[in-house]
Structure 1
């Protein structure tokens, strides 16, 4: 394999101290500032901004109508139409989670339960929203479609413990998902 030797170009004194790039950047910044003050900022109408630039006034204005179709937000657990848990505690989402934000403790379903045909259900299902990176891998790997990423980006809490969502909280924010659930399928 031949070795190609590349020589660096000789820079002038102005190029060596980046004077031209600094001046050019200053003029571009000033142009945007003047356009903003004149109310001619690019994208201001799309974001319904206050008129001074493209800054969205967050609590009053939200991104909800501007979110793309493929947006991935916070994960939540869902139930079926009859209020039954979809999760079978297979722990695939826990194993595939890159930041290890999911913790599942499986338990068995008692034999006297009408839904005893299913082997297990989650006793505890916790997701640490501080650690979650909203990658969507838990949703992709779930065989029962029990976990979904909802379009929610404003997750707040007053302390760290508020940011760990337990099973009840995850079902509360997840809601009901309509469709065939494999674990309740009689043919399975």
Structure 2
């Protein structure tokens, strides 16, 4: 069984009963080890898939944005360049987070909270996804107020990106997406 586990096959369990107590305890320990290694392998595979998706998203956004400017579809403006820079910074942060994977094993992660203008942050994200929306002839209308909150910019951005990406993915061609940011009292 140790040889099987050593070859990376963690799904098997050792089925053997012995009259010797220590051998039975060893069998239980080996089966628990195989089970834990199997869970770690599944977690590693899921993490690899998630990381790939998280890295691909800002790269695709920047590429679409730059292609639209190079092709003359969009005018090169400071706002559009800032939104691309935000994606580069976010991508750098994601890559930096890969170095801290050990922290996730302990289910703890640091939060970098800063006072942030949510309206500006969301607008930059919208700019980065306009090309993706235009591919499906989807318009993105928005009404964003300047609301400041103490947030982790990267974590908040990821939430908005996931929402907007899914909205584009599941909105029919020629459809509309409306985003409104307002402070509820």
TM-score (norm 1): 0.26
RCO higher in 1 or 2 (8 Å CA, sep ≥ 6)?
Answer: 1
Bigger Rg, structure 1 or 2: 1
Structure number with higher helix proportion: 2
TM-score (norm 2): 0.27
